[in-house]
Amino acid sequence: MPDPLARVMGQDKIRVFLVAENRLLREALARILNKKSDVRVVGATAVSPELVDQITSAGPDVLLCDSTINSLSGLDVVQELGKAVPGLRVVMIGMGADKETFLRAVRDGVVGYVLKEASALEVASAVRAVINEEAICPPSLCRTLFDYVSSQRGQMPSFQIRHDLGLTRREQQLVQMIGRGLTNKEIASQLNLSEQTVKNHVHRMLRKVGADNRLAVVELCRMQGLVA
């Protein structure tokens, strides 16, 4: 995947792959996005059985799709792509303010959701927002999301933790060592790293899993079966 720092320095563009059944919509979005100085469309297609392979080969940063992507029989495309293309952000264009479609999209891993009435400027802004680790949701559907979270009060641990916590191999190694009670200094000594490097790894882990401290990271991983 492209280096985020390079993009900030203007040395790279946000790579976008478009999926939409309507050819005119695909071509219009591609034309509009390619005019943006920080965006490049690396592929555009309708839904097909080869879709996952096409997107994986293109290696985009953002998948911009309409809700017909869910129509590919027998395959949860968004979830499958999350595994196949690490770091991929998905922005969905919903055909309407349908609560069920919206919630399914969020559950599948979509981090940006705009309605078909959205302007080209709003779509481009959504693409940039998700690259900057933001989530996009129409005001008309925000209440739906809040209501859903409220209804899951008794299941909040599983709601907060993704099955794949997104930890790197090194971070998983650190979780195991923290779980054994090692301090940052002891971990640094065993791995031949500086103590500051270990602290940086721990800080990134806290942000990734939404934990308040290093022991909370271990407990969250235990709940996912990632730590013995």
Helix (H, G, I), strand (E, B) or coil at 39: strand
Query: Measured in whole angstroms, how far is the alpha carbon of residue 60 from the centre of its chain?
Result: 12
- Residue 112 contacts residue 126 (beta carbons within 8 Å): yes
What does the pLDDT read at residue 6? 44
Give the end-to-end CA distance of the chain in Å, rounded to a whole number: 31
Tens digit of pLDDT for each residue in 120-154?
A: 889 999 999 999 999 999 888 888 888 877 776 55
Instruction: Verify that 45 and 106 share a domain, yes or no.
Output: yes
Residue 214 belongs to a domain:
yes
User: Residue 228 domain-assigned?
Assistant: no
**pLDDT score, position 225:** 61
Residues 199 and 106 in one domain: no
What single DSSP character describes residue 225? Answer: T
Tell whether 23 and 134 lie within a shared domain: yes
Q: Could you tell me if 62 and 119 lie in one domain?
A: yes
For residues 144 and 202, membership in a common domain is answered with: no
pLDDT in tens, 191-214: 888 988 888 888 888 887 777 787
What pTM was computed for the model? Answer: 0.62
Same domain, 171 and 216: yes
Question: Last residue of a domain, which of 150, 174, 197?
Answer: 150
CATH number at residue 217: 1.10.10.10
Q: What is the CATH number of the domain that holds 27?
A: 3.40.50.2300
The reply to whether 96 and 31 lie within a common domain is: yes
Which of 150, 174, 207 terminates a domain? The answer is: 150
Owning domain of residue 130? 4-150
